[in-house]
Structure 1
Amino acid sequence: MIKAIVTDIEGTTSSIDFVHQSLFPYAKAHLRAFLHAHAAEPAVAEQIRETAALEGRALDTEAAAAVLARWIDEDRKATPLKALQGMIWAQGYAAGELKGHVYPDTPVHLRLWHGQGRRLYVYSSGSVEAQKLIFGHSDAGDLTPLFSGYFDTRIGGKREAGSYQAILKELALPGEEVLFLSDVGEELDAARAAGMHTCQLLRDAKARPFAQHPQARDFSEVAL
């Protein structure tokens, strides 16, 4: 019996286009001004230091902004970039300039599964803070009360089996009682290697099917 469902965001609960055409450009447009305005704050200064460490050289605020903007263009899954993007998006959501996209069936089935007593979790390359913003300010209202927890790249890469083993440890459940949902086959491979059940969402015509995993066009087709 599936007692917990762990879901990806991009291409799974929410449109890839929303992330790449709305969130990323918003963060890039506000990045430089945000860093100059908040560089002295401990949380922001820490991310600038981590950016410099990953880049392997000293960076002042302006140089860090240039590196981070390049990482946005490269769609780098770097933890300091994700953390800073989350801080910038928080301002955008608070100002009403951003609204988190979810597919119409997403809130319906999240509420259904939650009502059945299944624990719901998110695992995304975006920071936990950014995950909470998407679901807390979604176009279907605040969905955060439905979730029991969130995981990001701080627990490990999404294509590494060890990340899913660490999630299972946090959930205190065996893999056979956990279902992982994603549109990315390599992530599903890693989750299955850790012992989880898997299902690939094929919402986007560009999604590459992995026939070794059960597939669904939306959450109504996810078999539990």
Structure 2
Amino acid sequence: MAPRPVMLPVGTSVVLLDIEGTTTPISYVKDILFPYIKENVESYLHAHWEEEECKDDIGLLRKQAEEDVPLDGAVPIPQSPVDGGGDVEQVIQAVVKNVHWQMSQDRKTTALKQLQGHMWKAAYTNGKMKGEVYDDVAPAIRKWREAGLKVYIYSSGSVEAQKLLFSYSIEGDLSKLFDGNFDTTSGHKVESESYKRIAKSIGCLTENILFLTDITREAKAAEEAGVHVCVVVRPGNADLTDDEKLHYKRIASFKELQLPS
């Protein structure tokens, strides 16, 4: 059964949006954002080695590496030369290997996300990268805002990475379309408590929120918190089971989400 137009639930005052597979193709994250980190982390570290921000990133990664020692395949990072450690190249190569290892394990540590965010910021600001957004997203959000709705982002990517994607999008600066951003500092997206925290932060009830996501585990967690959910079906997104198709309201485009007349 194909998705059909969905009426905005009565009492909804907030639309909460996932990014990957919802506002932005999964392929953009998988084929552009993450490969950029793997391919450019070494040259980035060489270019920014003397900067305090880069030193802070490496320090955070080193601290994470110390916590990861018990894990299979974990890559330690030696101290920098100024701290009595190895030479610059030795430290850089260790950081590169550590980053590659973390990404191969699909880890979402704060240390890794911080470095990724700074690398993407450099790429966006120098024009090497543009954030990809489905063409139905911006017009729909403008329509929702005109109707008095607030619109927020909730993604596992850092708030900084979220803002960069929309600030430097293929459609220009879309960052002003959003009332705020949430990431995993509010909790993991498959935990119902996360949605209660977000509702409290916004200043509304969970039943005032409609959450749009392509991941049914996230939809289930949001539902358990009392949040309305709608699953977004886009090309490349995971297939839904027959039971999931029956249970969840679904849209293939933001155009299909209709406001009460």
Alignment-derived partner of residue 145 in structure 2: 114
Displacement of 1:112 in angstroms is 1.0
Q: Identity, % of aligned pairs?
A: 38
- In the alignment, which of 103, 110, 130 is matched to residue 134 of structure 2? 103
Unaligned runs of 5+ in 1: none
Alignment-derived partner of residue 24 in structure 1: 34
Runs of 4+ in 1 over 6 A off after TM superposition: none
**How do 1:163-202 and structure 2 match up within 5 A?**
163-202=194-233
**TM-score, normalised via structure 2 length:** 0.80
Q: Say if 2:61 is the partner of 1:51.
A: no
- Residue 59 of structure 1 aligns with an amino acid whose one-letter code is I
What whole-Å deviation, never above 9, does each CA across 1:64-105 have from its counterpart, x for those lacking one?
A: 321211222333222221221111011101111100000000
- In the alignment, which of 150, 156, 178 is matched to residue 125 of structure 1? 156
Q: Say if 2:97 is the partner of 1:66.
A: yes
Of the structure 1 ranges 129-138 and 40-49, higher mean CA displacement relative to structure 2 is found in 40-49
Alignment-derived partner of residue 219 in structure 1: 254
- Residue 10 of structure 1 aligns with an amino acid whose one-letter code is E
Does the residue aligned with 2:188 lie in a helix, a strand or coil? Answer: coil
- Residue 108 of structure 2 aligns with an amino acid whose one-letter code is K
**Whose relative contact order is higher, 1 or 2, with alpha carbons under 8 Å and at least 6 apart?**
2
Greater radius of gyration (CA): 2
Of the structure 1 ranges 6-15 and 147-156, higher mean CA displacement relative to structure 2 is found in 147-156
Alignment-derived partner of residue 83 in structure 1: 114
> CA RMSD of the aligned region, Å?
1.9
- Residue 55 of structure 1 aligns with an amino acid whose one-letter code is D
For the structure 1 residues 8 and 53, does the alpha-carbon distance in structure 2 shift closer, same or farther, using more than 3 Å as the test? farther
Q: Is the 8 A contact 1:215 1:222 kept in 2?
A: no
Q: Is the 8 A contact 2:57 2:111 kept in 1?
A: no
For the structure 1 residues 163 and 50, does the alpha-carbon distance in structure 2 shift closer, same or farther, using more than 3 Å as the test? farther
**TM-score, normalised via structure 1 length:** 0.92
Q: Say if 2:30 is the partner of 1:12.
A: no
For the structure 1 residues 223 and 191, does the alpha-carbon distance in structure 2 shift closer, same or farther, using more than 3 Å as the test? farther
Alignment-derived partner of residue 34 in structure 1: 44
